[in-house]
Copies of this chain bind each other. A is one copy, B any other.
Amino acid sequence: MTTQDLIRELREPADSKIVLLVADGLGGLPLEPGGLTELESARTPNLDACVQEGVCGLSIPVLPGIAPGSGPGHLALFGYDPLQYRIGRGILEALGINFPIGPEDVAIRGNFCTLDGQGRITDRRAGRPSQEQNLAAVERLRRIQLPGVELFVEPVREHRFVLVLRGTGLGDQVNDTDPQAVGVAPLTAQGADPASQKTAELINQFTAAARQVLADCAPLNGVTLRGAARRPAIPAFTEVYGLKAAALAVYPMYKGLARLVGMDVLDAGASLQEQIATLGRVWKEYDFFFLHYKYTDSTGEDGNFAAKVQMIEQLDAAIPQIRALRPDVLIVTGDHSTPSKLRSHSWHPVPTLLLADTCRPDEATKFGERDCLRGGLGQFPAQYLMLLAMAHARRLGKYGA
């Protein structure tokens, strides 16, 4: 029995509201031995008050030692086993540009590359073209037609684009055509099963057609394709939890992830202030609200400790406005850690707080990694966070008599 089966069996209607505030990459590390982390350094009186009234702990997104991408990190927070449900790279790229992926679509990451007269790759990134060059080449690719499928070509950045094949019976077990080397031709795509072979043949036809339509576009005169993927069959959020869910995110990737699990993706503006204004406006219409805050991650990725501290303090300042709406359950966490010291996603457990009137007191008094170690939630798999949210929202009945 999966966790989803259990929730479907036990869930009960209630009038309660849950806010899941995801501060992307929240967890950190000290820069120097004996120092404080970004979260411990930040002045966070409002988050600290939540910790004192609620319960805290550390969530483990996938497994100890595993640094997750945004996809598995969010799937776990939404209550899905990130090892069971995998989001392929093509799908993630398509989500990142807010492309509305259909259930049978195959999404593929594309790279423009430079080919010599013999069709051998001389530059795998086509000289990192400008956005104008990328758009012009994408326009050429859009002329390509293939039998039995609808094609979508969408620009990303530099040498990258997304190809979506829309048809029926297309598999996604196809090798990448990027040989990861120069001096050789792009590889031929092959499918691991008949449905994937159908996709592979379309990829090979597209690659050949691209050489023709891009013939005079050097250095963007060839393409490689990789990460072919269909969307995973994730049971919808509303169907599993019985929650009417709204996503209030600024960046396309997180809107896409929320759409993938069936949340309503609202036009929430371009800043935390606008997101919170939207939250207030739609408060009566939904049971569950996913708010995504990007800047704790991007400053961490930049290796900018001070800026990450500042972004945490800006988040803290917004907490009273959220609490003023009186959510029954307020959760503040991250999808993974992004220590500025490492300039990347990391495997370190993620500080998490849950505020509800059914919390058992613990001895944590401040929202920080060390306090969370003493918190009542302990260290726990992130995929169980939604069980706790549902329990504290009084939306789960008893298991067994």
Contacts and interface: CB of A to CB of B under 8 A. Distances in A.
**This chain: how many copies in the complex?**
2
Given A347-B396, A400-B82, A387 B63 contact: yes
A3 B63 contact: yes
Nearest to A357: B33
A29 interface: yes
Interface in A332-373: 341-342, 344-349, 358, 360-363, 369-370, 373
A348 B347 CA distance: 27
A30 B346 CA distance: 37
Given A400-B69, A400-B72, A83 B6 contact: yes
Nearest to A380: B64
Interface residues of A, number: 67
A65 B370 contact: no
Given A83-B1, A360-B37, A376 B378 contact: no
A396 B3 contact: no
Contacts of A66: 6, 10, 387, 391, 396, 399
Contacts of A347: 387-388, 391, 396
Interface stretch (A86-94, A125-133, A175-183, A278-286): A86-94
A67 B391 CA distance: 8
A70 B348 contact: no
A6 B348 CA distance: 18
B399 A65 contact: no
Contact of A348 (B65, B360, B380): B360
Interface in A231-257: none
A43 interface: no
A3 B67 CA distance: 14
A66 B396 CA distance: 7
A379 interface: yes
B399 A67 contact: yes
B401 A70 contact: yes
A62 interface: yes
A69 to B, nearest CB: 4
A1 B63 CA distance: 13
A147 interface: no
Interface in A143-201: none
A67 B389 CA distance: 13
Nearest to A381: B64
A33 B55 CA distance: 12
A270 B29 CA distance: 41
A39 B104 CA distance: 55
A390 B37 CA distance: 22
Contact of A68 (B69, B348, B399): B399
Contacts of A29: 358, 360
A117 interface: no
Contacts of A327: none
A376 B373 contact: yes
28 contacts: A10-B66, A27-B360, A33-B53, A62-B399, A63-B387, A65-B386, A65-B387, A65-B389, A65-B390, A65-B391, A65-B396, A67-B391, A67-B399, A68-B400, A70-B400, A70-B401, A72-B400, A345-B398, A347-B391, A347-B396, A348-B360, A360-B369, A361-B370, A363-B370, A363-B373, A373-B378, A374-B374, A379-B380
Interface of A: 1, 3, 6, 10, 27, 29-30, 33-35, 37, 53, 58, 62-73, 82-83, 86-87, 89, 92, 341-342, 344-349, 358, 360-363, 369-370, 373-374, 376-380, 384, 386-392, 396-401
- 9 nearest A-B pairs in the assembled complex, by CB-CB distance: A65-B387, A69-B400, A65-B391, A72-B400, A378-B379, A64-B384, A65-B388, A69-B401, A347-B391
